[in-house]
Amino acid sequence: MTQDAPSFGFDTLQIHAGARPDPATGARQVPIYQTTAYVFRDAEHAAALFNLQEVGYIYSRLTNPTVAALQERVAVLEGGAGAVCCSSGHAAQIMALFPLMAPGCNVVVSTRLYGGSITQFSQTIKRFGWSAKFVDTDDLAAVEAAIDDDTRAVFCESIANPGGYITDIDALAKIADKAGLPLIVDNTSATPYLCRPIEHGATLVVHSMTKFLTGNGTVTGGVVVDSGNFDWSASDKFPSLSAPEPAYHGLKFHETFGPLAFTFHGIAVGLRDLGMTLNPQAAHYTLMGIETLSLRMARHVENAEKIASWLEGHAAVEGVTYAGLESSPYKERASRICPKGAGGLFTVALKGGYDACVKFVDSLEIFSHVANLGDTRSLVIHSASTTHRQLTEEQQIAAGAAPNVVRISIGIEDADDLIADLDQALNKASA
């Protein structure tokens, strides 16, 4: 079952897309192909694979049947032409930028990002000679003004971590399209069940599959999904995809592979040279996790709506950022971008400030204090002292992780039990 089967519903595709009975054994679940290399039929077959004249398996840094099944499943669920899996969400972001950027180029980036992503864009990519311009993506004029001749992409999160803010993907896509640039959307917090960024104009979609896609906190993984809709040859800005590739005897990826140009480049050049490979066992866990994605996301949303509404009325709480609340300025946008719900991630500001946040986190019993989100278990973290600790207070506030703010990832437990745990911890924190 492939993306050529649009008549199937999401619940069917999340189980069957990319999965076929194993031709050798008839195994119904996708096997873990725990192998490094693959035997070629003959010398001619090997040459064809290495010349990209034939699709197949060479070496597991590049391709693996278990990983390939996962790539197909995620691409189908996102409505993309193809996908490349890699070792983590951070790896996916580098993989997404790698074919687009060159020394001296920049990417326009939302200020509302995961703290580790802010560090990656503001510090680490400088080592490649790249740079990032941080802009409040709610200020569309500022986004447009930030784009210059050296800009190669616009980057945002669909549901921003940690605050749960909803990004107007349609508006950003129009700006990016006008400038002849790809829009890259991190869809980790929403998943394709709640939001399909390609339908709103995104060119590329990235995920930390570690989070909601896997959903069980067992493995790390990332993926880049290509819409197949961008014309990489429309300008000379993307020579990696439009110009002759010396490593493949002058092959032009876009001319040769069309809508799959970015996907083939990601495997044949990105994984070949960067080596950010996803291991087959991690792919297997993620495939199993995705089988229940819609069930889990529906419960995450149901619980989050109930708990956020309760928190909003608590005496110790200054504010709740959940976009599913009637009081949220993002309520209308959430219904348009994420019609099935605003996700399970939001932040809570406590009246007691930094110290109250620390005491609150330490007093919780059901919630786990971890540097993760998107688990079946409810999770909590004080971002200012952990994931966003490396940022200035100004950056923390811009990212939605001020010192008096706690990030909460609502799981699929009994909502009343979670409320009781939050209540006792809030009472201790405000005592």
pLDDT at 4 over 90: no
**Alpha helices in 17-104, H assignment, sequence order:** 43-50, 65-78, 89-97
Q: Are 266 and 99 in contact (CB under 8 A)?
A: yes
Mean pLDDT along residues 176-203: 98
pLDDT over threshold 90, residue 22: no
Q: Answer whether residue 2 shows pLDDT above 50.
A: no
Report the candidate in 313, 368, 378, 294 with the shortest Cα–Cα distance to residue 344: 378
Q: In 168-322, where does DSSP find H-type helix? A: 169-178, 191-194, 239-242, 253-257, 261-265, 272-274, 280-290, 293-312
How close are the terminal C-alpha atoms of the chain, in Å? 57
Does residue 115 or residue 14 have the better pLDDT?
14
How much of the chain, in percent, has pLDDT values that exceed 90?
90
Give the type of residue at 206: V
Residues 138-163: tens digit of each pLDDT: 999 999 999 999 999 999 999 999 88
Residue 64, both tokens = 């693996």
Specify the pLDDT at position 220. Answer: 97
Q: Which is higher by pLDDT, 213 or 114?
A: 213
43: its two tokens: 């010398």
H helices then E strands: how many in the chain?
Answer: 18, 12
Higher pLDDT, 247 or 385: 247
**Greater confidence, 96 or 371?**
96
For 266, the 3-state DSSP assignment is: helix
Q: pLDDT at position 215, please?
A: 97
pLDDT higher than threshold 90 for residue 129: yes
Q: What is the mean pLDDT of the segment spanning 368-377?
A: 95
Mean pLDDT, residues 359-386 taken together: 94
Instruction: Pick 393 or 278 by higher pLDDT.
Output: 278
CATH topology of domain 293-429: Aspartate Aminotransferase, domain 1 (3.90.1150)
- Please state, in angstroms and rounded to a whole number, the distance separating the CA atoms of residues 379 and 115: 17
For the purposes of burial, counting CB atoms within 10 Å of the CB of 312, is it exposed (0-12), middle (13-18) or buried (19 or more)?
A: middle
Residues 172-183: tens digit of each pLDDT: 999 999 999 999
Distance separating alpha carbons of residues 398 and 109, to the nearest angstrom: 13
From residue 281, give the alpha-carbon distance in Å to each of 86, 98, 231, 418, 420.
13, 26, 35, 32, 37
Instruction: Summarize pLDDT for 288-322 with one digit per residue, the tens.
Output: 999 999 999 999 999 999 999 999 999 999 999 99
Per-domain boundaries in the chain: 12-289, 293-429
- Residue with tokens 């069957």, as numbered in its chain: 16
Q: Lay out the sheet containing 183-186: strands in order across.
A: 82-86, 222-226, 204-208, 183-186, 151-157, 106-110, 131-135
Omega before 162 cis (within 30°)?
A: yes
Dihedral of the CA atoms 134, 330, 343, 326 (nearest 10)?
150
What is the rounded average pLDDT of the residues 258-269?
98
Asked if residue 90 lies in contact with residue 100, where contact means CB atoms within 8 angstroms, the answer is: no
**CATH class for the region spanning 12-289:** alpha beta
- Region 392-413 average pLDDT: 88
For the cut 50, the answer to whether the pLDDT of residue 9 exceeds it is yes
Polymer length of the chain: 431
Radius of gyration of the chain (CA): 22
Quote the pLDDT of residue 6. 56
Q: What is the pTM of this model?
A: 0.95
- The reported pLDDT for the residue numbered 162 is 86
Of the listed ranges 79-83, 101-105, 148-152, 427-431, the least confidently predicted one is: 427-431
Predicted confidence at residue 5, as pLDDT, reads 47
Query: Strand, helix or coil at 43?
Result: helix
pLDDT at 134 over 50: yes
Interatomic CA distance for residues 28 and 22, integer angstroms: 7
Q: Is the dihedral of CA 114, 430, 353, 351 positive or negative?
A: positive
Q: What is the pLDDT of residues 84-111, one digit of tens each?
A: 999 999 999 999 999 999 999 999 999 9
Q: What was the pLDDT predicted at 1? A: 44
Mean pLDDT value across the chain? 95
For the ranges 80-84, 141-145, 233-237, 381-385, the lowest mean pLDDT is seen at 381-385
At residue 395, the pLDDT reads 81
Q: Cα–Cα distance between 172 and 185 in angstroms, integer?
A: 10
Local structure of residue 200 (DSSP, 8 states): G
